[in-house]
Amino acid sequence: MTDETGTEDDCLFDIILDESTIGRTTPDIEHEREVAIFDLLDQNFFKLVKREDKPHVDGPYILNLSIIENRLLFNIEDSENNFIVAHTLSLSPFKKIIKDYFLICESYFEAIKTATPQRIEAIDMGRRGLHNEGCALLRERLEGKIILDDDTSRRLFTLIAALHWKG
């Protein structure tokens, strides 16, 4: 069980995407990424786990994200851009969830054009279920490194999915 108590400084105040490894893409995808980052920065709980082998630095934090060889690299800095720690997260365990998430989102957008409200609600429930599965996996993979609350985990999963969206 993770501890989700902290101070108002236990948060991200900036997120930077490494354009050399993530790259720019279509305006629609860029918009989705910007919205995901905005939502994440608007309200989040992000706390580094204290470790005996490293000095602990309190937040707020800057999160620099890169993708290198199917791994998401979290480079975390303090508010003055001083490097604190890097964590690598394999994206392989997320591959199926993200693929299924995109498929169901596509079904949802098609359904809102012609389907009944009950059908739209059923598809949306499936989408939320996959989203929750991705959030739980993210928290599990970051356990012992970074503490996130449920809402932050959801928003961060949304950003990770947006980084993989092909449009």
**Cβ–Cβ < 8 Å for 103, 130:** no
Instruction: Give per-residue pLDDT as tens, 14-33.
Output: 999 998 888 777 787 788 88
**DSSP reduced 3-state for 80:** coil
Q: How confident is the model at residue 165 (pLDDT cuts 50, 70, 90)?
A: low
- 166 pLDDT higher than 80: no
Task: Please give the residue that has the higher pLDDT: either 31 or 141.
Answer: 141
- Tell me which residue has tokens 């303090």: 78
* Residue-level pLDDT at 4: 56
Average pLDDT over residues 131-137: 94
Mean pLDDT across the chain, nearest whole number? 87
Which one-letter amino acid corresponds to residue 92?
S
Instruction: Give per-residue pLDDT as tens, 62-97.
Output: 999 999 988 999 999 999 999 999 999 999 999 999
Average pLDDT over residues 55-65: 88
**Cβ–Cβ < 8 Å for 45, 10:** yes
Question: Which residues are CB-neighbours of 14 under 8 A, at least 6 positions away?
Answer: 41, 62, 63
Q: How confident is the model at residue 6 (pLDDT cuts 50, 70, 90)?
A: low
Task: Please give the residue that has the higher pLDDT: either 55 or 19.
Answer: 19
Q: How confident is the model at residue 7 (pLDDT cuts 50, 70, 90)?
A: confident
Q: How confident is the model at residue 56 (pLDDT cuts 50, 70, 90)?
A: confident
